[in-house]
Amino acid sequence: MDSIAIIQSKTGFICDMDGVLYHGNRLLAGAKDFVEWLKAQKKNFLFLTNASQRSPKELKIKLDHLGINVGEEHFYTSAQATAGFLKSQQPGGSAYVIGEAGLINALYDAGFSMNDINPDYVIVGESRSYNFDTLERAVNLVIGGAKLIGTNPDVTGPVEHGISLGTGALTAPIELATGSQAYFVGKPNPLMMRQALKNIGCKPEDTVIIGDRMDTDIIAGIESEIETVLVLTGVTDRENMKKFAYSPDHILDHVGQIARA
């Protein structure tokens, strides 16, 4: 069997979004064909994103605007994974959050309260409101005993005009200033991968993970024993792929190749 046939034979599909389906507000080649194929073939699929800004409802609306229609149940974000993890660690805890509505609402739904005086956690996600004041507050809260959490380790993310700063980059100054190391919940953390498999009801051997990043998507699949598919529409190309000590099982120019006859 060739790569496409092997991928098509799987029953479960875990798929990244940024760099795979879209860049910013631009739909990528083959994305719509791929999703229509998933639905037509009655595959079990989940869009698993390290982005924490948006809720599943907002992600659904975004895809609707791009011409792709899927239900909210097909989305799972690093914000949800972070909220679920913290709820299991400290039910009813509090947090100082550098992040957007998707993260804040997920924490509220998990029973957390917002606290900028003596929180249990400082939580960092992607944020346009990141500035010196929020950074300084976060540093002093961590020095004061708050535990440092990042929604995901991505240093950058693809956008229409190039790249944007990711949570890993925003968290790094806090780590440097405090000497603390953040715990990142999103991909490639096995916690998020196990939850993704539960959501689609599939075993690792029956599943593929599709993504554009070697350092999150592909390593997440390798460490979770899930077959990996790298698409070259995001941050990774064939040249910088050589920097990594591991390789994906399959490499595609774009995700639409999976939908071919």
Q: Is residue 162 part of a domain?
A: yes
Beta sheet of 207-211, edge-to-edge order: 75-77, 44-49, 12-15, 207-211, 227-231, 250-252
Shared domain for 90 and 107, answered yes or no, is: yes
User: The tokens of 47 are what?
Assistant: 């869009």
pLDDT for 158 beyond 70: no
Number of domains in the chain: 2
One-letter amino acid of 69:
N
Residue 160 has pLDDT above 70, yes or no: no
Q: Is the pLDDT of residue 175 over 90?
A: yes
Give per-residue pLDDT as tens, 96-107: 999 999 999 999
In a domain? residue 61: no
Q: What are phi and psi of 87, to 5 degrees?
A: -65, -35
Question: pTM of the prediction?
Answer: 0.92
SS3 208: strand
pLDDT tens digit sequence for 70-83: 999 999 999 999 99
206 is catalytic: no
What is d(CA 183, CA 138) in angstroms, rounded to the nearest whole number?
Answer: 15
- For residues 184-191, give the mean pLDDT: 94
Catalytic residue, candidates 2, 18, 120, 249: 18
Q: Could you tell me if 205 and 178 lie in one domain? A: no
d(CA 107, CA 96): 11
Q: Is residue 18 part of a domain?
A: yes
Q: How far from each other are the two terminal CA atoms of the chain, in whole angstroms?
A: 14
Looking at the structure, do residues 164 and 207 belong to the same domain, yes or no? no
Write the single-letter amino acid at 17. Answer: M
Instruction: Give the whole-angstrom CA distance, residue 238 versus residue 221.
Output: 19
pLDDT at residue 157 above 80? no
Res. 114: pLDDT tops 80: yes
| β-strands 207-211, 22-23 pairing | unpaired
Summary mean pLDDT of the chain:
94
Structural element, H or E, at residue 199: helix 190-200
Identify the DSSP state of 146.
P
pLDDT, tens digit, 9 for 90 and up, residues 201-219: 999 999 999 999 999 999 9
Tell whether 240 and 254 lie within a shared domain.
Answer: yes
Q: Is there a single domain that holds both residue 122 and residue 180? A: yes
Pick the catalytic residue: 2, 16, 33, 133? 16
Domain presence at residue 44:
yes
136, 160, 184 — which closes off a domain? 184
> What's the pLDDT at 162?
74
Q: Is 253 considered catalytic here?
A: no
pLDDT above 90: percentage of residues in the chain: 89
Domain that holds residue 197: 3-50+187-259
- Residue ending a domain, choose from 169, 184, 199: 184
**Residues paired with 157 in a beta bridge:** 164
Q: What is the CATH number of the domain that holds 142?
A: 3.40.50.1000
Task: For residue 50, give Cα distances in angstroms to 73, 109, 185, 205.
Answer: 16, 19, 9, 23
Report yes or no on 56 lying in a domain.
no
Q: What was the pLDDT predicted at 156?
A: 83
Q: Please identify, among 184, 218, 245, the residue that sits at the C-terminal boundary of a domain.
A: 184
